[in-house]
């Protein structure tokens, strides 16, 4: 079992990583007999894992309820959020005793967290992330929210869980495409923050792709440590946390343009990382050989290194101007200046952005 403690001003909580999570209640689950548990999950994850979790808690005398939502990024929406509130209100769940447990990927984690942040002004919630992306990134750090048709993650709150409980063995049932999406965020951490970790990924990617248990656990742990480090520095995303947005200004534009229905978040981030590198190359801030290393690693992880063919620079710009790092007149971007280091560039010229979106031949 691996344990990392996230220490914030108002809340301290553990991240636990163990393959025994679904077999051992008393060692890992911060739940008491009086707590009223509502599992929030989706129609893909529920048939595989919900019974196991319900049985585990019920065996220890904990009563559980559940809400199974439709799968997919387009359901990280106001309408589905309202379904959570309706379920809680109809069943008289109160502020003191209720704990929501998010069982699923980043979509379920983000919407459940936001429901917990806002239901009766805040109830407790636990993250049980079941995708690689959510285990290394989305479940940690308290960014919760939903999408709006006019922009990704535009409605939300900073609200921390009481625990993040990670079972890496659930990754066995993940589709290859969804697994790769997680690798995009992992590679993002390495480029943004940790050159040694980037080298490690180059050497260990094959073992990750075959789900080697010790390689997998090390990788998840390292990402959780990096995320903890950044979130403790800047819980409310005012300075350091923006480094984790590498590739996301472009990526979010792709997701919004496609109405959250085609590329996954991880795929969009992967193409976005390359666009950020292209911009840094145009600004003469990044090394061409390092750019080649990043492209190779993303390709080995089965990730896209170009944006969707039908999107024009204008399509990107429409959404990029609304990004949280930008303001209404200028686009600001987090760009890599070396492997392991990023910097925010303010008021990046539209020509540079336009060139960065086009395919680069290096």
Ligand X SMILES: NC(=O)c1ccc[n+]([C@@H]2O[C@H](COP(=O)([O-])OP(=O)(O)OC[C@H]3O[C@@H](n4cnc5c(N)ncnc54)[C@H](O)[C@@H]3O)[C@@H](O)[C@H]2O)c1
152 annotated ligand binder: yes
86 annotated ligand binder: no
SS3 state of residue 38: strand
- What lies within 8 Å, CB to CB, of 115 at 6+ separation is 40, 81, 84, 85, 88, 100, 125
265 annotated ligand binder: yes
Judged by beta carbon, residue 184 or residue 275, the one nearer ligand X is 184
Q: How many residues comprise the chain?
A: 362
Element holding 183 (H helix, E strand): helix 176-193
CA-closest candidate to residue 30, choices 126, 145, 136: 126
| Minimum distance of ligand X from residue 108's CB (angstroms) | 6
266 annotated ligand binder: no
Judged by beta carbon, residue 124 or residue 248, the one nearer ligand X is 248
- DSSP state letter for 308: -
Judged by beta carbon, residue 122 or residue 350, the one nearer ligand X is 122
What is the CB neighbour count within 10 angstroms for residue 54?
A: 17
| Minimum distance of ligand X from residue 114's CB (angstroms) | 10
Element holding 152 (H helix, E strand): strand 151-158
SS3 state of residue 312: coil
d(CA 249, CA 359): 17
Judged by beta carbon, residue 53 or residue 352, the one nearer ligand X is 53
| Minimum distance of ligand X from residue 347's CB (angstroms) | 26
Binding site for ligand X (CB under 6 A): 42, 44-45, 48, 71, 73, 76, 104-108, 110, 130-131, 133-134, 137-138, 141, 143, 153, 170, 173-174, 178, 181, 264-266
Judged by beta carbon, residue 178 or residue 235, the one nearer ligand X is 178
| Minimum distance of ligand X from residue 8's CB (angstroms) | 14
d(CA 145, CA 77): 9
282 annotated ligand binder: no
Which strands, in side-by-side order, build the sheet including 163-166? 2-7, 12-17, 163-166, 124-129, 98-104, 36-42, 64-69
Which residue's CB comes closest to ligand X?
Answer: 106
What is the CB neighbour count within 10 angstroms for residue 346?
A: 11
| Minimum distance of ligand X from residue 2's CB (angstroms) | 19
| Minimum distance of ligand X from residue 283's CB (angstroms) | 26
309 annotated ligand binder: no
Residues paired with 31 in a beta bridge? none
Q: Are 301 and 180 in contact (CB under 8 A)?
A: yes
131 annotated ligand binder: yes
Judged by beta carbon, residue 131 or residue 332, the one nearer ligand X is 131
Binding site as annotated, residues for Zn(2+): 185, 248, 265
Show binding-site residues for NAD(+). Answer: 71-76, 106-110, 130-131, 143, 152
């Amino acid at each position: 079992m691996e344990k990392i403690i996230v220490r914030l001003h108002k809340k301290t909580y553990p991240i636990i990583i163990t393959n025994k999570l679904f077999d051992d209640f008393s060692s890992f689950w911060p739940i008491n007999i009086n707590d009223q548990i509502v599992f929030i999950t989706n129609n893909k994850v529920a048939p595989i894992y919900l019974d196991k979790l319900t049985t585990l808690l019920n065996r220890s005398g904990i009563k559980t309820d559940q809400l199974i939502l439709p799968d997919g990024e387009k359901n990280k929406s106001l309408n589905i959020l309202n379904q959570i509130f309706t379920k809680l209100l109809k069943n008289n769940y109160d502020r003191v005793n209720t704990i929501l447990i998010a069982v699923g990927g980043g979509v379920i984690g983000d919407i459940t967290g936001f429901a917990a942040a806002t239901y009766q002004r805040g109830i407790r919630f636990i993250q049980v992330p079941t995708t690689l992306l959510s285990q290394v990134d989305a479940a940690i750090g308290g960014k919760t929210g939903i999408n709006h048709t006019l922009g990704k993650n535009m409605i939300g709150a900073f609200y921390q869980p009481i625990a993040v409980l990670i079972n890496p063995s659930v990754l066995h049932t993940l589709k290859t495409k969804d697994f790769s999406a997680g690798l995009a965020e992992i590679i993002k951490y390495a480029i943004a923050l940790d050159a040694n970790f980037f080298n490690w990924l180059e050497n260990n990617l094959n073992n990750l792709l075959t789900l080697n248990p010790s390689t997998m656990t090390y990788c998840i742990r390292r990402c959780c440590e990096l995320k903890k480090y950044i979130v403790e520095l800047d819980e409310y995303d005012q300075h350091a946390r923006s480094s984790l947005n590498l590739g996301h200004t472009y990526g979010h534009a792709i997701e919004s343009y496609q109405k959250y229905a085609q590329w996954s978040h991880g795929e969009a981030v992967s193409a976005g990382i390359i666009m950020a590198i292209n911009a840094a190359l145009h600004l003469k801030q990044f090394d061409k050989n390092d750019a080649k290393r990043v492209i190779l690693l993303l390709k080995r992880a089965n990730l896209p290194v170009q944006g969707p063919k039908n999107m024009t620079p204008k399509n990107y710009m429409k959404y990029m101007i609304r990004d949280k790092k930008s303001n209404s007149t200028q686009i600001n971007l987090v760009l890599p200046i070396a492997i392991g280091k990023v910097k925010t560039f303010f008021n990046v010229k539209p020509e540079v952005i336009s060139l960065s979106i086009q395919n680069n031949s290096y």
